């Protein structure tokens, strides 16, 4: 076991049983991955894939029914490991009668942090997550985004080595999402390890050093985003301006569309997608001859979203996973 | 460990202090004491006895009902509202969480019993009833009973819904109050199955009858708040019985809670 592995899941399995009928629901079916020290690790998957169940198992909220897991070198469940980790649950629920100061004080007490240090950390974190103006308000008056920020502050009260965030961007507006992304990158720069789940693929792609894709309770892919997606171009996207002449434009669009794999016309413009084997130069000359002006030419590679959708589609073609308890 | 228990307990106290029903119950207890004065006036030469009995019954009954209400609600709601996610993922053992919640309830119930008792003592004084150490002993016993009932409710709450937990806890409270009748049934009932069931029930139910000392005989010895029949030794023995049941029920609750999945 290498010492720089912060989270290790080996054939992790979780089977729920319904209380009376004893029906089995397999939420995780052999999940294996490793998260290394200092990296931002994105955990991707569609709804019901097992992301939250995996996190709940790692956080000792659920008992593991198969396989094993370790966090910070300690087998799960471990109080010693929890001393060094911060956790933000999905859609965090807190005691709504507390203020954010009191919430962080409670968190600090549970970590055994001395009173003066608790106050200092709470003040710093409240400012850091942008809740300085809401210190005196009870959490009951907080918006969803504000609660998410309070949860992030709570997750950082112990200055953790590992931060586990379950859907941290969920419910946030674009500004809030960017702030969370920036915070995650700040944490990485400070030497922390961040493990987060999300189904907002663009966010994951932007900030993750490595990702795992879980579908139907199984890991489908693990690796750096650029290594997971194919390197061969999927085609070329050409944006053309069509001269604004009613009949000519129609003819030009029809002619160009016949040579493209796919087209989408908007007033005055045409987006044409040429297949990977087609001659781009030849296509551009052809379009130019038909009076089109070339605005942009962009080779298109597979994205994380393409890969993700491919995996989900393949899973749906195979045996459909059973629904996971919410 | 003490810091974590205190943090959970204090938070539980804060949460319970926001429950408005408790203030309603407090007003109800004051009302019962006022009613006791009226009933006392209607009796002949028994004003003091009626006032004391009604006051202590108010503490015992409403204290126990409050204990059941808090016990079945406070632990369950942590799981239901998922506030527990942010707590048990900290370096805290689950048993510390259960015990911390119970200690928070002890704090709330102690304050309530103190307020109930203060109301009763104020009204007894106003009525001119002589106060004796027997009333203090009776209050301590009622407090022990309330804390035992709270442990019963917490135990059921560790694995059941508030409705079922409330039903089970009320049933145990009621059975625990009639242990002399059960004991009689266990030894004198004609049907053998009644003797068996009564004997078995006596083994698995805390003897809450020990905590009620209004003119009763316990094991052939007079125990009454209306005279100096109750010794501090008796109070200590009854408290020990309560403590045993509290410890046993909390251990069971912790074992069950330890095995729960929070989904």
Give the domain ranges of chain B. 2-259
Among the partner-chain residues A110, A325, A326, the one whose CB lies closest to the CB of B87 is: A110
Mean pLDDT, residues B36-54 taken together = 75
The tens digit of pLDDT for each residue in A197-210 reads: 988 888 888 899 99
Among the partner-chain residues B6, B14, B90, the one whose CB lies closest to the CB of A97 is: B14
From the CB of residue A239, how many other CB atoms can be counted at a distance below 10 Å?
17
Say yes or no: B167 contacts chain A, CB-CB below 8 A.
no
The pLDDT of residue A325 is 44
Say yes or no: A311 contacts chain B, CB-CB below 8 A.
no
Packing angle of the helix pair B133-157, B232-258 (nearest 10 deg): 10
The tens digit of pLDDT for each residue in A173-182 reads: 888 888 888 9
Contacts of A59 in chain B (CB under 8 A): 85, 89
Rank A68-82, A141-155, B214-228, B242-256 by mean pLDDT and report only the highest: B242-256
Q: Do A89 and B82 touch (CB under 8 A)?
A: yes
Average pLDDT, chain A: 86
Residues of chain A with CATH 3.30.70.3400: 235-300
| In CATH, A5-84+160-228 is 3.40.50.970 | no
Say yes or no: A111 contacts chain B, CB-CB below 8 A.
yes
Contacts of A16 in chain B (CB under 8 A): 261, 263
Say yes or no: B255 contacts chain A, CB-CB below 8 A.
no
Residue B97: pLDDT over 80? yes
The pLDDT of residue B219 is 56
Among the partner-chain residues A83, A93, A94, the one whose CB lies closest to the CB of B91 is: A83
Residue B85: pLDDT over 80? yes
Residue A304: pLDDT over 90? no
- Which of A36-45, A297-306, B88-97, B254-263 is least confident? A297-306
Say yes or no: B261 contacts chain A, CB-CB below 8 A.
yes
Residues of chain A with CATH 3.40.50.300: 5-84+160-228
Say yes or no: A110 contacts chain B, CB-CB below 8 A.
yes
> ipTM exceeding 0.90?
no
Residue A305: pLDDT over 60? yes
The tens digit of pLDDT for each residue in A202-237 reads: 888 889 999 999 888 889 888 888 888 877 778 899
Among the partner-chain residues A63, A95, A110, the one whose CB lies closest to the CB of B90 is: A110
Q: List the one residue out of A1, A6, A3 whose CA is nearest residue A210.
A: A6
Contacts of A79 in chain B (CB under 8 A): 91-93
**Surface of B (69-128) touching A: CB under 8 A:** 81-83, 85-93
Residue B98 three-state SS: helix
For the stretch A209-212, contacts whose Cβ atoms lie closer than 8 Å and that sit 24 or more positions apart, written own/partner, are A209/A39, A209/A40, A209/A41, A210/A35, A210/A36, A210/A39, A210/A41, A210/A42, A211/A41, A211/A42, A211/A43, A211/A44, A211/A304, A212/A33, A212/A41, A212/A42, A212/A43, A212/A44
Among the partner-chain residues B18, B86, B91, the one whose CB lies closest to the CB of A82 is: B91
Residue B221: pLDDT over 60? no
Q: Do B263 and A80 touch (CB under 8 A)?
A: no
CB A224 within 8 A of CB A210: yes
- What pTM, to 2 d.p., does this model score? 0.82
Among the partner-chain residues A62, A82, A97, the one whose CB lies closest to the CB of B261 is: A62
- Indicate which of A110, A112, A161, A162 best probes the interface with B, i.e. most B CBs within 10 Å of its own CB: A110
Average pLDDT, chain B: 86
Nearest chain A residue (CA) to B160: A19
Q: Whole-angstrom Cα distance, residue B39 to residue B153? A: 33
Domain formed by A235-300, architecture: 2-Layer Sandwich (3.30)
The pLDDT of residue B111 is 92
**Surface of A (67-96) touching B: CB under 8 A:** 79-80, 82-83, 85, 87, 89, 92-95
Residue A10 three-state SS: strand
Shortest distance, CA B163 to any CA of chain A (angstroms):
17
């Amino acid at each position: 076991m290498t010492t720089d592995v912060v989270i290790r899941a080996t054939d992790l399995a979780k089977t729920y049983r319904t209380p009376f009928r004893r029906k089995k629901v397999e939420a995780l079916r052999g999940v294996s991955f490793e998260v290394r020290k200092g990296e931002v690790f994105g955990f991707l998957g569609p709804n019901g894939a097992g992301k939250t169940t995996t996190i709940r198992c790692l956080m000792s909220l659920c008992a593991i029914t198969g396989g094993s897991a370790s966090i910070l070198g300690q087998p799960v469940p471990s109080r010693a490991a929890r001393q060094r980790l911060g956790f933000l649950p999905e859609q965090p629920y807190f005691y709504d009668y507390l203020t954010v100061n009191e919430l962080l004080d409670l968190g600090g007490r549970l970590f055994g942090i001395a009173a003066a240090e608790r106050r200092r950390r709470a003040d710093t974190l409240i400012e850091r997550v942008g809740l300085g103006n809401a210190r005196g308000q009870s959490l009951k008056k907080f918006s969803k985004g504000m609660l998410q920020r309070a949860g992030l502050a709570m997750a950082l009260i112990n200055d953790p080595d590992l931060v586990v965030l379950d859907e941290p961007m969920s419910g946030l507006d674009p500004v809030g999402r960017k702030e969370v992304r920036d915070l995650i990158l700040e944490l990485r720069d400070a030497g922390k390890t961040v493990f987060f789940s999300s189904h907002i693929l663009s966010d994951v792609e932007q900030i993750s050093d490595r990702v795992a894709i879980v579908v139907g309770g199984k890991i489908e892919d693990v690796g750096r985003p650029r290594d997971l997606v194919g390197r061969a171009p999927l085609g070329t996207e050409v944006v053309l301006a069509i001269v604004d002449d009613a009949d000519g434009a129609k003819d030009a669009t029809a002619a160009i569309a016949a040579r493209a794999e796919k087209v989408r016309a908007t007033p005055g413009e045409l987006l044409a997608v040429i297949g990977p084997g087609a001659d781009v130069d030849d296509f551009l000359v052809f379009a130019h001859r038909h009076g089109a002006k070339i605005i942009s030419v962009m080779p298109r590679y597979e994205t994380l979203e393409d890969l993700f959708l491919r995996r989900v589609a393949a899973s749906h073609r195979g045996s459909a996973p059973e629904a996971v308890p919410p | 460990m003490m810091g974590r228990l205190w943090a959970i307990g204090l938070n539980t106290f804060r949460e319970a202090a926001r429950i408005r029903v408790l203030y309603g119950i407090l007003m109800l207890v004051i009302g019962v004491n006022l009613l006791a004065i009226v009933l006392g006036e209607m009796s002949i030469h028994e004003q003091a006895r009626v006032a004391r009995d009604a006051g202590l019954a108010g503490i015992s009954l409403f204290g126990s009902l409050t204990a059941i209400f808090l016990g079945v609600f406070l632990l369950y709601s942590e799981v239901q509202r998922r506030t527990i996610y942010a707590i048990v993922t900290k370096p805290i053992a689950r048993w510390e969480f259960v015990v911390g919640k119970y200690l928070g309830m002890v704090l709330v119930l102690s304050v309530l019993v103190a307020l109930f008792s203060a109301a009763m003592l104020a009204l007894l004084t106003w009525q001119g009833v002589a106060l004796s150490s027997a009333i203090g002993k009776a209050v301590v016993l009622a407090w022990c009973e309330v804390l035992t009932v709270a442990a019963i409710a917490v135990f059921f709450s560790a694995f059941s819904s508030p409705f079922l937990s409330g039903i089970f806890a009320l049933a145990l409270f009621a059975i625990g109050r009639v242990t002399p009748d059960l004991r009689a049934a266990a030894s004198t009932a004609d049907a053998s199955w009644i003797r068996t069931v009564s004997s078995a029930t006596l083994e698995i139910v805390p003897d809450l009858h020990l905590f009620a000392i209004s003119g009763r005989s316990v094991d052939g010895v007079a125990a009454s708040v209306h005279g100096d029949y109750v010794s501090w030794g008796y109070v200590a023995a009854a408290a020990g019985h309560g403590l045993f049941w509290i410890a046993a029920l909390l251990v069971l609750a912790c074992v069950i809670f330890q095995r729960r999945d929070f989904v």
